[in-house]
Amino acid sequence: MTDDVVDRVAALPFFAALNPQQLRQLCEAGMPASYQPGERIFAEGGTADRFWLIETGDVALDIRVPGRGDQVIETLAGGAVLGWSWLHPPYRWQFGASARERVEAIAFDAATVRDRCDADPVFGYAMLRLFTPVITERLQATRLRLLDLYATAAQVGRP
Amino acid sequence: MSTSAAPAMVGSAVPQPYRVVSRRVDTADTVTFELAHDAGPLPAFAPGQFAMLTAYGIGEVPISLSGLPDPDDDRARRLTHTLRAVGAVTRALHATAPGATIGVRGPFGTSWDVESAAGRDVVIVAGGIGLAPVRPVLHAVLADRARYGNVVLLVGARTPADLLYPDELLRWRESGVQLGVTVDRPADGWIGQVGVVPALIPHARFDPANSVAFVCGPEVMMRFTAQALIGRGLPASRLRVSLERNMRCGVGWCGHCQLGPLLLCRDGPVVDYARAEPLMNIREL
């Protein structure tokens, strides 16, 4: 870990609730990562061994649909975290992710962070409190999209 | 009744004939009309206000103003409306050709009060056809750009093909508007954002303590958008939403558009969120 990683993580609001010691502990598992436009960051079904704090650039989450290829289901922008399948078994990516443009990020080693969470429940609880809202917000966004709010009655089969 | 009140009364109760001078197809089911009154126009409309548009022999519907005329142009009293064909009346209006006549009553309701955003950042969030009623806000701000701070426009649509005013979106971005566009269902080749429009709010650059927000779209979308804006620190009193119920008379007589203590044709459609939120959360209203 370098002070550069700490500075870069601290420059974004996502981990702002961690105290300085927790931030340093987290950043011990982090390293800078860059992706070119179109580059795959992880593939659906792969081992969820990392997560990322996106600094700049858009990332597309996708899922492979037979006959239709990789279907984009959501995009994430700078400031967002990418990946939560590392949090719980079986530690497999449920979706894939690829860079839509050049992406700069901090990649965190999942096993190291999980070990830290297990060894230090205060740190673990702080991490959980940061990631639970992400899961909640994306669940709410998915529910909103299920409503198909912009559709006309005819488009959703209502009279 | 005084004589001076007569024009407003005529405008509010009797549809005035307006000629369709232009009809632009925006999407598969949406068009934008420019309407002209040859004999004498209705009073000036303000951004956020709406007209009752009549398809003669079929009925009338409330449609918000979707553009500001150039005040230096001799066509300054023309009306611009964008409408989507969803029912019998809007389908008939949608099919109206240039040169044909439709009826217009108005102006009705409250305005966005764009002027109150002078000196502040302007945040406009629109979902679906909701971009049409906030378009005059953007026109007004860009016409007097130096008086406003950052201008943010966040737009959500069902698909890329459903995006309204795509050419203007590009022009607005080129003129310095911070533009975010997201769709629920991307098409092949779409390289923009995918997801709901409230998800764009954390990434927008504006000062929540010194901003005014104008939000228009489906009510559920406006609720989640308001939560995200307030979550960033924007006071509910500087967040405006455009609400819609069953507008009929346009002047608060018939009560069809009642939302609790409000008659939205008169007290709305634009309402401060501080006032609207408790009403939007009552299931029976």
Q: Where are the alpha helices (DSSP H) in A35-159?
A: 110-119, 121-147
Partner-chain contact B203 A79, CB within 8 Å: yes
A141: which chain B residues are within 8 Å (Cβ-Cβ)? 195-196, 198-199
Q: Is A147 an 8 Å CB contact of chain B?
A: yes
Partner-chain contact A75 B182, CB within 8 Å: yes
User: Smallest Cβ distance to A100: which of B128, B191, B217?
Assistant: B191
pLDDT of residue A38: 95
Task: Examine the pLDDT at B11 and tell me if it is beyond 90.
Answer: no
Mean pLDDT of B184-200: 93
Domains and CATH numbers, chain A: 3-156 (2.60.120.10)
Q: How does pLDDT run across B28-54, given as a tens digit for each residue?
A: 999 999 999 877 777 888 999 999 999
CA distances from B155 to B96, B135, B221 (A): 28, 11, 11
pLDDT of residue B243: 94
B192: which chain A residues are within 8 Å (Cβ-Cβ)? 75
Q: Hey, of A12, A68, A75, which one would you mutate to test binding to chain B, going by the most B CBs within 10 A of its CB?
A: A75
pLDDT of residue B220: 93
Partner-chain contact A141 B196, CB within 8 Å: yes
pLDDT of residue B28: 92
Q: Hey, of A70, A135, A144, which one would you mutate to test binding to chain B, going by the most B CBs within 10 A of its CB?
A: A144
CA distances from B195 to A155, B22, B225 (A): 19, 34, 13
pLDDT of residue B232: 94
Cα(A59)–Cα(A51) distance, integer angstroms? 13
pLDDT of residue A1: 55
B22 beta partners: B34
pTM for this prediction:
0.90
pLDDT band at B7 (very low <50, low <70, confident <90, very high): very low
Q: Is A67 an 8 Å CB contact of chain B?
A: no
Q: Is A100 an 8 Å CB contact of chain B?
A: yes
Sole residue written with tokens 């150039």: B70
pLDDT band at B2 (very low <50, low <70, confident <90, very high): very low
Q: Is A156 an 8 Å CB contact of chain B?
A: no
Report residue A55: phi and psi, to 5°.
Answer: -90, -55
Q: How does pLDDT run across A79-118, given as a tens digit for each residue?
A: 999 999 999 999 999 999 999 999 999 999 999 999 999 9
B161: which chain A residues are within 8 Å (Cβ-Cβ)? none
